[in-house]
A = this chain, B = another copy of it.
Amino acid sequence: MSHNQVICSNCGLDNICLPRGLSQAEIDNISKVVKAKKTIQRGDFIYREGDNFKGILAIKSGSAKLIANDSHGNEHILNILLPGELLGFDGLSTEKHGCAAIALETMTFCILPADSMDQLFQNVPSLTRELFRHSGEKMLEDKNQLVLSKRPAEERLAYFLISLSERLKRRGFSSSEFKLSLTRQEIGNHLGLALETVSRLLKKFQDDGLIMVQNRFIQIKDIMSLRALLQPLD
């Protein structure tokens, strides 16, 4: 079913997705095993906690959230994933996913199937490095989140906005204007804040001229001052 395949070398995301820094031959090698682009809707599960690991996924469009559930049924939003970013690493170690991934809006993605990974490791060693690189990047992000979790509410929200802005920029989207596909509740959950606190702080940031908020649309007006709020994180 060749019409069903994604050709990495023709993909608009090729510079930000997996094949970065690989040779043409290597990309072709990957193209052979990368599975068809799939489309799913807002609220759909990409995978659930406990699901068998099927492979690493690359988001082509839309966004997703990573969810861990505790035994009281509380959701914890671990991360937001944007176009061009990879997910699925939480299943790499145990063959079972350690958390769930849910679409925040209509989204499409590719799959690097688990069962072809060993073979790829041998044929495309630089892909292995690339995967480790991504995996390491995720850990650095986790590190930042962890450091951040000890900081006051204002800094957490400021960092969240800056981080989104930067990641969107890196992917070629506007860094100063974007729609958050998250409720105040979800933002608060992700940052460990009450939804009321998120609401109050967004208002404060707006009053201070740092951003403009209209519902879920955010416009960053003064990135410098926003950054200044989180000196401590550098």
Contacts and interface: CB of A to CB of B under 8 A. Distances in A.
Contacts of A134: 93
Contacts of A149: 146, 149-150, 192
Interface string A135-161: 111111011011101100000000000
A203 to B, nearest CB: 23
Contacts of A2: none
Contact of A146 (B118, B125, B142): B142
A200 interface: no
A76 B146 contact: yes
Interface stretch (A9-17, A65-73, A179-187, A217-225): A65-73
A112 B143 CA distance: 23
A30 B121 CA distance: 17
A234 B71 contact: yes
Contact of A122 (B122, B137, B145, B234): B122
Interface residues on A, range: 35 or more
Given A70-B233, A71-B233, A74-B232, A142 B140 contact: no
Contacts of A192: 149-150
A133 B92 contact: yes
Interface of A: 68, 70-72, 74, 76, 78, 89-94, 98-99, 117-118, 121-122, 125-126, 128-129, 131-140, 142-143, 145-147, 149-150, 192, 231-234
